[in-house]
């Protein structure tokens, strides 16, 4: 078959392929140039106002220029999704620029406000980025969980269109494999039989500080294979393979194979002379090797010895195109950090920047005329029309970059609150979800739950029994088949709506990240709910932060929490999580006390996570059964619960004291309130459902110059009234309330590690029982009467 060329000529498939290869090789040079120039421009040409180094990673970028050019300009299909190695951001944006999806203005403002971000960012660089990256290891891990989400959606036919599955690809630095989360993810992936997943490792054998251990990679192949992955190693390029095929070539191969990483890197930096000296010394007895040395001048020898497959476009393309099935595949691409740049291979090159002289010399060697630095084609040896036609034919360029629309899922105005005289918020949660699971509200079909081996103990049992566990294949519940009595029915099927994970909390948050991006990644909206024990939020905190950084939307239910967990002991008793909930961007935090509050807040959260400007939502729940209020929460009360606080006991006019409580200590707050009413008539009792929302509203109101919600509530008290704050958590979560209307605040809470005990003992020891609240109230009143003596 002959293809028509512009101008009416035609050429054979072989010539066509050669033409494409020539375009890719030319553009690969351009991508290297643009990324290097982008960083240079930001550091040397843009005026600095603060004297800070701008930075950027010229060496890390150069390392993946070939692999990324091959992927973005040839291999990727519109349905594929990619997480790019964080410090290859300049290469990624250079490629987008060539494709006309990125502007020169943004490239010129690399690492400046509004410009290209240091590390690819979904929220700031826009829809060209599939996954944000930055904290190494997490971008790699999230692709695995995104592949599970793709299967989840495809098997349930929730994805729009009927096209082929996309490949979910991570471009990883080799040192990223030091991050434990990668191994946690691999094991989880094996359990879930992940498919359509590619991890491409930029094996430049360098990290930030050093050259990586030689022995490390001996283990990598075995490791991936153990988890059922295919490993494709791209080691030597075409030139080296040809040299190996020459007489005595096997000795050259053996020499390189055995060359320690540090020596290889050092020789890469030294260049032709260094190679010659070592090869002549070690292999001079072989006539074939002497001939190879004679046939190459120093630059030629350097070129030969650095011809690793990760820099050989044809080899890279062959490796990618050879994969036609959906088995997870790890490509180990041998590369050189800083390839093509003067500090190639130098162990200190991670943060290295080329100086102006080096840059000028690179510019000359690239044939880029002065003033044409941002030109897409200047200096390339392929005609501009051919390059333009090539770029227009790139598969991913056939689809415009737009945010994938996923229509919102309707949420009922209010979820029914579970009834009962005494109940814990955790029990209420289980019952609310259980009721949703039984009902036929289409909302429930879009809910997907996940938990790191605490499904039963966080009360998801009823939901899972009814909605089943997700698996790519049908798997029977053996206990059930064997008629062993159990409250849990754990049949697995593609239709299941719970993703059961192993204990690793990082995996939970990466799974939530991927589920919470189902809309933008795959065009189908899911409403993810993840459960874990509150103290273990910290175990996966960076992954949670990572999920929120890229605006994944989900509901996090953390239970049990605090010292209220009592006998279970100090290691499981969370303290600082509510403060984390307050300080964590992208997350709205609630700690309700009662079942009706939770029903209202959960309903609100299901809408909130779907709102364009919304956030993910964190609920801190408890296993403590407490007396429920007898009330029907009307719209006004519901609104106040969502806003963060309401008066459970309204203060009398000019009240001199109020107690503000949050969460499971409600009974102590109520008892203390009842006890002080005689001495302080009209004292108020403020139920705080969300310190975080109150605080946020307070700051926003201050900016607007208005009274916010907290200020309006506290304005009902006398000026300078006492305010006792109490929660089973660090007191900083509520103590700030004293600043809002200048109340005399006495903050109660937990600021030491917990221990085993029962609730009365522990609340007494940590000073959050009703006696402690009454004492604090007395202190506040004394202070109010005699501020001089008590200050």
Ligand X SMILES: Cc1ncc(C[n+]2csc(CCOP(=O)(O)OP(=O)(O)O)c2C)c(N)n1
Considering the complex, what minimum distance in angstroms separates the CB of residue 199 from ligand X? 12
Distance CA 627, CA 420 (A): 9
Nearest to 411 by CA among 302, 555, 546: 555
Residue 297: is it exposed, middle or buried by C-beta count within 10 angstroms (0-12/13-18/19+)?
exposed
Rounded to 5°, angle at Cα 14 from 9 and 17 = 85
Q: Which is nearer to ligand X, 88 or 501 (CB)?
A: 88
Q: Does 206 bind Mg ion (CB under 5 A)?
A: yes
Helices (H), 193-312: 216-226, 238-245, 249-258, 261-270, 272-283, 287-295, 298-305
Considering the complex, what minimum distance in angstroms separates the CB of residue 335 from ligand X? 8
Q: Does 87 bind ligand X (CB under 6 A)?
A: yes
Q: Which is nearer to Mg ion, 99 or 333 (CB)?
A: 333
Q: Does 135 bind ligand X (CB under 6 A)?
A: yes
Q: Does 397 bind ligand X (CB under 6 A)?
A: no
Provide the β-strand partners of residue 723: 658, 745
In which element (H, E) is residue 493 found? strand 492-493
Distance CA 148, CA 5 (A): 42
Q: Does 202 bind ligand X (CB under 6 A)?
A: yes
The two tokens of residue 209 are 């500080």
**Which window, 29-37, 201-209, 484-492, 764-772, contacts ligand X (CB under 6 A)?**
201-209
**Which of 29, 40, 337, 539 lies at the binding interface for ligand X (CB under 6 A)?**
337
Q: What is the full DSSP assignment across 43-73?
A: IIISPPSS-------HHHHHHTHHHHHHIII
**Which of 36, 41, 58, 60 lies at the binding interface for ligand X (CB under 6 A)?**
60
**Which window, 79-87, 460-468, 498-506, 528-536, contacts ligand X (CB under 6 A)?**
79-87
Considering the complex, what minimum distance in angstroms separates the CB of residue 397 from ligand X? 27
Q: Does 438 bind ligand X (CB under 6 A)?
A: no
With contact defined as beta carbons under 8 Å apart, do 31 and 39 qualify? no
Considering the complex, what minimum distance in angstroms separates the CB of residue 271 from Mg ion? 21
**Which of 35, 43, 58, 63 lies at the binding interface for ligand X (CB under 6 A)?**
63
Rounded to 5°, angle at Cα 249 from 244 and 253 = 70
With contact defined as beta carbons under 8 Å apart, do 145 and 501 qualify? no
Per the listing, tokens 């351009």 go with: 30
Q: How far is CA 469 from the centre of its chain?
A: 24
Considering the complex, what minimum distance in angstroms separates the CB of residue 344 from ligand X? 12
Cα dist from 6 to 3, 22, 398, 742, whole Å? 10, 16, 19, 77
**Which of 93, 111, 302, 350 lies at the binding interface for ligand X (CB under 6 A)?**
350
**Which window, 39-47, 171-179, 313-321, 718-726, contacts ligand X (CB under 6 A)?**
171-179
Considering the complex, what minimum distance in angstroms separates the CB of residue 203 from Mg ion? 7
User: Pick from ligand X, Mg ion, none: which does 469 bind, CB < 5 to 8 A by kind?
Assistant: none
Residue of this chain nearest to ligand X (CB atom): 173
**Which window, 140-148, 174-182, 309-317, 663-671, contacts ligand X (CB under 6 A)?**
174-182
Q: Which is nearer to Mg ion, 202 or 505 (CB)?
A: 202
159 φ, ψ (degrees, to nearest 5): -85, 140
Distance CA 713, CA 645 (A): 8
| Longest CA span, the chain | 105
Q: Which is nearer to ligand X, 548 or 599 (CB)?
A: 548
**Which of 28, 125, 130, 176 lies at the binding interface for ligand X (CB under 6 A)?**
176
User: Pick from Mg ion, ligand X, none: which does 208 bind, CB < 5 to 8 A by kind?
Assistant: ligand X
Distance CA 591, CA 723 (A): 19
User: Per CB under 5 A, which of residues 163..202 are in contact with Mg ion?
Assistant: 173-175
In which element (H, E) is residue 61 found? helix 58-63
Would you tell me which residues interact with ligand X (CB under 6 A)? 60, 63, 85-87, 135-136, 173-176, 202, 204, 206-208, 337, 350
Would you tell me which residues interact with Mg ion (CB under 5 A)? 173-175, 204, 206
């Amino acid at each position: 078959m002959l293809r028509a060329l512009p101008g009416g000529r035609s050429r054979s498939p072989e010539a066509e392929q050669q033409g494409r290869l020539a375009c890719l090789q030319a553009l690969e040079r351009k991508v290297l140039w643009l990324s290097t120039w982008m960083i240079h421009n930001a550091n040397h040409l843009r005026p600095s106002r603060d004297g800070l180094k701008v930075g950027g990673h010229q060496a890390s970028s150069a390392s993946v220029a070939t692999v990324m050019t091959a992927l973005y300009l040839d291999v990727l299909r519109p349905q594929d999704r990619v997480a790019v190695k964080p410090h290859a951001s300049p290469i990624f944006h250079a490629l987008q620029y060539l494709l006309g999806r990125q502007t020169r203005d943004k490239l010129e403002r690399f690492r400046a406000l509004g410009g290209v971000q240091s590390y690819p960012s979904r929220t700031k660089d826009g829809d060209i980025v599939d996954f944000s990256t930055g904290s190494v290891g997490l971008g790699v891990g999230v692709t695995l969980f995104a592949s599970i989400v793709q299967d989840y959606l495809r098997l349930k036919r929730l994805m729009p269109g009927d096209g082929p599955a996309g490949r979910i690809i991570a471009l990883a630095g080799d040192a990223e494999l030091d991050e434990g989360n990668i191994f946690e993810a691999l094991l989880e992936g094996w359990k879930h039989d992940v498919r359509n997943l590619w991890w491409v490792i930029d094996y430049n054998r360098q990290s930030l500080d050093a050259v990586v251990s030689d022995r490390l990679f001996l283990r990598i192949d075995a490791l991936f294979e153990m988890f059922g992955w295919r490993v494709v190693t791209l080691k030597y390029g075409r030139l080296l393979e040809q040299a190996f095929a020459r007489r005595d070539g096997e000795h050259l191969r053996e020499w390189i194979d055995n060359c320690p990483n540090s020596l290889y890197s050092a020789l890469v930096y030294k260049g032709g002379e260094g190679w010659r000296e070592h090869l002549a010394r070690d292999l001079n007895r072989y006539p074939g090797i002497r001939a190879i040395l004679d046939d190459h001048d120093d630059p030629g020898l350097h070129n030969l010895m650095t011809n690793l497959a990760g820099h050989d476009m044809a080899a890279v393309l062959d490796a990618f195109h050879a994969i036609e099935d959906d088995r997870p595949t790890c490509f180990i691409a041998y590369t050189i950090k800083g390839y093509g740049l003067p500090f190639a291979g130098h162990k200190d090159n991670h943060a290295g920047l080329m100086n102006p002289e080096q840059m000028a010399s690179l510019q000359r060697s690239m044939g880029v005329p002065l003033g044409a630095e941002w030109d897409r084609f200047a200096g390339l040896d392929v005609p501009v029309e051919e390059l333009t036609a090539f770029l227009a034919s790139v598969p991913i360029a056939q689809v415009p970059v737009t945010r994938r629309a996923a229509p919102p899922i309707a949420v009922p105005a209010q979820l029914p609150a579970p009834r009962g005289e005494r109940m814990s918020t955790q029990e209420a949660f289980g019952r609310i979800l259980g009721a949703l699971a039984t009902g036929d509200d289409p909302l429930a079909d879009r809910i997907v739950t996940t938990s790191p081996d605490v499904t039963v103990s966080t009360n998801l049992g009823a939901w899972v029994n009814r909605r089943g566990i997700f698996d790519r294949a049908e798997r029977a519940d053996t206990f059930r088949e064997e008629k062993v009595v159990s409250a849990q029915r754990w049949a697995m099927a593609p239709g299941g709506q719970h993703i059961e994970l192993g204990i690793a909390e990082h995996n939970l948050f990466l799974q939530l990240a991927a589920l919470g991006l189902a809309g933008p990644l795959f065009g189908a909206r899911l409403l993810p709910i993840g459960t874990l024990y509150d103290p273990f939020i910290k175990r996966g905190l960076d992954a949670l932060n990572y999920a929120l950084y890229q605006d994944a939307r989900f509901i996090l239910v953390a239970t049990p929490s605090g010292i209220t967990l009592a006998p279970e002991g100090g290691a499981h008793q969370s303290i600082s999580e509510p403060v984390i909930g307050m300080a964590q961007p992208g997350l709205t935090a609630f700690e309700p006390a009662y079942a009706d509050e939770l029903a209202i807040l959960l309903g609100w959260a299901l809408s909130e996570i779907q709102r364009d400007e919304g956030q993910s939502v964190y609920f801190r729940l408890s296993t403590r059964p407490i007396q429920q209020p007898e009330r029907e929460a009307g719209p006004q009360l519901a609104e106040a619960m969502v806003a963060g606080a309401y008066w459970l006991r309204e203060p009398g006019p000019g009240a001199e004291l109020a107690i503000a409580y949050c969460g499971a200590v409600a009974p102590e707050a109520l008892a203390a309130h009842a006890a002080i009413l005689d001495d302080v008539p009209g004292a108020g009792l403020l139920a705080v459902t969300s310190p975080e929302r109150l605080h946020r509203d307070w700051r926003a109101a201050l900016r607007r110059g208005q009274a916010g919600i907290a200020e309006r509530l506290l304005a009902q008290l006398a000026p300078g009234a006492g305010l006792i704050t109490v929660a089973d958590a660090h007191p900083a979560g509520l103590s700030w309330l004293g600043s809002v209307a200048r109340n005399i605040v006495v903050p109660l809470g937990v600021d030491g590690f917990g221990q085993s005990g029962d609730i009365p003992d522990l609340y007494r020891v940590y000073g959050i029982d009703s006696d402690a609240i009454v004492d604090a109230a007395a202190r506040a009143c004394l202070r109010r009467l005699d501020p001089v003596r008590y200050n």
